[in-house]
């Protein structure tokens, strides 16, 4: 306070600006480096106290500290990062820092520098991302690939900061899509699976952390990182295509395992993680096609509380009653929920084989039968297989009529399989008969039906943009023109549920 009253902070800021200007402009002289290390340390100490941060920004020192992010000396850089991170804890100071050209330098450090510099930079950027202009600059300077590349790190605190940056920037719809395109959803789920696996504790103990952490601190940091990943996935699934990818990548199973109570560990942290996991699941449930999946997970009374929370509720406290109710269940009930969660694991052994195809998941049912996600016994590619019950009255009253209908269907599908090649029309690969059922193997479309997009938008009280509508409509017209004009085929069942929207709104009929 004496230093402030004597205008010492302002004089120190002016002197730091002069030394920094010489250092950045004319090269590294050791005495300049030593001075800057000491001055950044002083400003770091000043900024550590909330009431003193305004003194630092009033002096203009934050501008010099931002300039020093271009320093070549590691100690100068670390000093500037620590001081700026302390300042950014206060909203007023954070706003002043965000008005400067800082994001491009931060992204360069995240891309090219050592682990400690990356960790401090990620924490500073996490704080600054509370400001809209910083989030916009991350997008402008193509920061998403840089941030996602850091998800391969084994450093818990670095990962935590990076994931919380993603939580904030993916509020922008375009950025949310970009994160999916760059593989961000798969990476977040991979982190969750890695931290939840049986050998996670041993693996984390061996990480090259920049500080020594006790087992309890490692455990708390692990919970915090898992909660952050759930928060990021919660924001990402507001986009329906993102939500579909989370389900396709076994995300419901991965997240649902985190709701189970763990009485041996930190109760407060465990309960908070359960809330974050429940919130991510509730956002996924809001997409209509996912709802049957969740009915398999919870007993009736728990499911009612889960539903009553409502769609897309971000307030984490809204999920506390659900967690309390779950944690009070007796052991047998918890065991049943754990078994229910295992039942939605897409990586479990195939439930059965039909012909040469492993049945992996039930995708839906219609008037004539079911659709399954399958994989060929000898391959890795995922396919869709439609099972048609030939005893349906639509195929005829007796065996003779049914055989005739099946013969015609197989003949038509053979022609379609050999002749249809269009980017907006589903590919058919094979038909075969087994146990009075007709099976049609076709391309598995990654996406969701147009009808589900309509329902989802209605629940969110959003609308399709005119540009998006035209993009979908034009592709639909191209598909129908190809079928009608070039192949002389009439669809006869064109509904929103038979029009699939995939990545970048690619239409498949």
**Burial readout 299-329 (b: 16 or more C-beta within 10 A, e: otherwise):** eeebeebbeebeebeeeeebbeebbebbbeb
What is 232-270 written as a DSSP string?
A: HHHHHTTSHHHHHHHHHTTHHHHHHGGGS--TTS-HHHH
Q: Over the Cα atoms of the chain, what is R_g?
A: 28
Dihedral (C-alpha) 104, 105, 108, 109: value to the nearest 10 degrees?
-140
Catalytic residue among 51, 315, 332, 493: 493
Is 237 within 8 Å of 283 (Cβ atoms)?
A: yes
Q: Catalytic: 332?
A: no
C-alpha span between 467 and 57 (Å, rounded): 45
C-alpha span between 280 and 284 (Å, rounded): 6
Helix (H, G, I), strand (E, B) or coil at 360: strand
Within 8 A by CB and 6+ apart from 51, the residues are none
Within 8 A by CB and 6+ apart from 36, the residues are 16, 19, 20, 23, 68, 71, 73, 76, 79
Q: Is 506 annotated as a binding residue?
A: no
Two tokens, residue 39: 């001055």
Is 85 within 8 Å of 125 (Cβ atoms)?
A: no
C-alpha span between 268 and 175 (Å, rounded): 33
Residue positions in the annotated binding site? 386
Residue positions in the annotated binding site for ATP? 386
Q: Would you name the residues annotated as active-site residues?
A: 493
């Amino acid at each position: 306070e004496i230093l402030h009253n004597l205008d010492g902070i302002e004089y120190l800021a002016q002197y730091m600006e002069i030394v920094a200007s010489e250092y950045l402009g004319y090269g590294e002289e050791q005495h300049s480096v030593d001075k800057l290390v000491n001055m950044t340390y002083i400003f770091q100490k000043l900024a550590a106290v909330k009431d003193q941060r305004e003194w630092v920004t009033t002096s203009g020192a934050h501008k010099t500290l931002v300039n020093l992010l271009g320093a070549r000396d590691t100690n100068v850089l670390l000093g500037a990062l620590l001081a700026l991170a302390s300042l950014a804890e206060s909203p007023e100071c954070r706003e002043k820092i965000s008005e400067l050209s800082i994001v491009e330098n931060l992204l360069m450090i995240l891309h090219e520098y050592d682990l400690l510099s990356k960790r401090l930079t990620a924490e500073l950027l996490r704080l600054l991302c509370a400001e809209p202009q910083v989030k916009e600059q991350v997008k402008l300077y193509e920061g998403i690939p840089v941030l996602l590349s850091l998800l391969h790190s084994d450093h818990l605190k670095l990962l935590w900061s990076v994931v919380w940056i993603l939580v904030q920037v993916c509020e922008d719809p375009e950025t949310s899509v970009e994160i999916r395109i760059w593989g961000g959803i798969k990476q977040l789920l991979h982190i969750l699976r890695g931290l939840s696996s049986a050998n996670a504790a041993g693996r984390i103990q061996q990480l090259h952390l920049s500080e020594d952490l006790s087992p309890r601190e490692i455990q708390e940091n692990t919970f915090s990182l898992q909660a952050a990943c759930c928060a990021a996935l919660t924001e990402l699934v507001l986009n329906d295509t993102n939500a579909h990818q989370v389900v396709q990548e076994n995300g419901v199973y991965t997240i649902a395992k985190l709701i189970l109570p763990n009485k041996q560990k930190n109760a407060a942290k465990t309960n908070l993680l359960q809330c974050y996991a429940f919130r991510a699941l509730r956002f996924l449930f809001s997409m209509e096609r996912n709802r049957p999946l969740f009915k398999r997970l919870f007993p009736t009374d728990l499911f009612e509380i889960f539903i009553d929370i409502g769609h897309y509720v971000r307030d984490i406290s809204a999920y506390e009653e659900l967690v309390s109710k779950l944690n009070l269940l007796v052991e047998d009930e918890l065991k049943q929920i754990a078994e229910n969660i295992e039942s939605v694991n897409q990586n479990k052994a195939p439930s059965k084989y039909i012909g040469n195809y492993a049945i992996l998941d039930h995708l839906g049912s219609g008037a004539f039968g079911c659709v399954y996600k399958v994989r060929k016994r000898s391959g890795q590619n995922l396919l869709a297989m439609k099972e048609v019950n030939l005893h349906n009255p639509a195929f005829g009253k007796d065996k003779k009529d049914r055989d005739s209908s099946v013969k015609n269907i197989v003949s038509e599908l053979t022609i379609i399989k050999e002749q249809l090649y269009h980017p907006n029309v589903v590919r058919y690969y094979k038909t075969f008969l087994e146990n009075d059922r007709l099976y049609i193997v076709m391309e598995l479309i990654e996406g969701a039906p147009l009808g589900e997009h309509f329902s989802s938008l209605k629940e969110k009280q959003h609308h399709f943009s005119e540009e998006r509508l035209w993009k979908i409509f034009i592709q639909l017209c191209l598909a129908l023109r190809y079928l009608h004009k070039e192949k002389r085929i009439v669809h006869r069942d064109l509904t929103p549920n038979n029009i699939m929207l995939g990545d970048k709104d690619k239409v498949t009929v």
